[in-house]
Structure 1
Amino acid sequence: MRVRFLFLGSALTWLMACSAPAPQAPQQQAQTLRLAPYLQVCQGLNQRLCMVDVSQPEDPQLMYTPIAGFDYEWGYYYTLQVNTLRHANPPADASSLSYELVEVAQKVPAQGIQRYQLRGVVPEPGVIEATRDGYQVLGQAFRCLKKALCERIVNLPSGQPVDLVFEWQADAQQPLLLKGYEVARR
């Protein structure tokens, strides 16, 4: 009898030790974000374009996590009211933060012709490509004044990072204009 209670007690202790802790509700905080009128290359599992938080202009930060409910348009400065959710136990490959749009407080177009540089783009399949409608780098449409420049970019050898220079012409209907590129310095 005593052995049964000992066994039963051990089994219950073992089961309780193996059970997952109750999930905690994420902590929520209201926050104002200011976004740059351009995206920048960021590296996670794969290369992609990330928004740039310029809330502290002297220390801009790449935003690896998208903002739920927000559609970014190149060429606009944004001031956003968001809820920032801090997750206690995120998956190993995920951020501990998530963002939900509350309000677009301000959307101001960048004035005139803006020049942007995407630094460290690594040509790999699907990164710089010709599409049915033109060309894309990391999903962002672009065009070239001379087709030969776009063809050179699309056919760059894999693995060697390049810096791409674009102009944006203050027209949301026009894709970025590729002005040139150079092999990135390491």
Structure 2
Amino acid sequence: MGIAAPRFTSYVPLTDLTPSPGNPKRHEIERIIESIESHGFLDQPVTDERTGRIIGGHGRREALIEMQSRGMRLPDGLLLDDDGGWLVPLQRGWSSRTDLEAKAVIIKLNRLPEAAGWDPRPLAEYLEELATGDAELFDSLAFSDEEMNDLFRKVDPESLPGGPADLDERQDQGAAGGDTGFADSGDNDRSRTVCCPACGELFSPGQ
């Protein structure tokens, strides 16, 4: 006899996703649309079985409705029903005990991930790798100047892989006949350089 999973995924019509009234979380719908369009639908909404309303995924619901109204293609991760409607993966199985608990969980699902913040050095290394490897992906993260300046105050760019110290070492190796790790792209490619968010050096994406 199989064991019933306490949490499971069901594909439900987008039109059946009922939002919780008065949800206080703001959403950047255009950024959510860009992420879904680029990477597919990755984060399932969560439903409250007691109320039949979602407690997580309000922004994703709004983004999908907007995408459908614009005639955009079906995102990866969704299905089509027989009538061409969009079917969305929904996490099922949880029930609130009271309306107050449901409201508390709505806040927690949004607040807890943001409360811890970021570990500065790994974040700086990720951003440096993205900026030098794929400028378009880096731009899609939409880090503000204020956020980047705050990161600069916490992380010494000299200590990062690809930072000035590392670059100087590779240049010294190149002068001695070694490989610097950077191809000579020529003058025509210099316009495609980007400024590394972590160390301030100019790099050509993909090199």
TM-score bracket for the superposition, by shorter chain length:
under 0.3
Structure-1-length-normalised TM-score: 0.25
Higher strand share: 1
Q: TM-score under structure 2 normalisation?
A: 0.23
Say which structure is richer in helix. Answer: 2
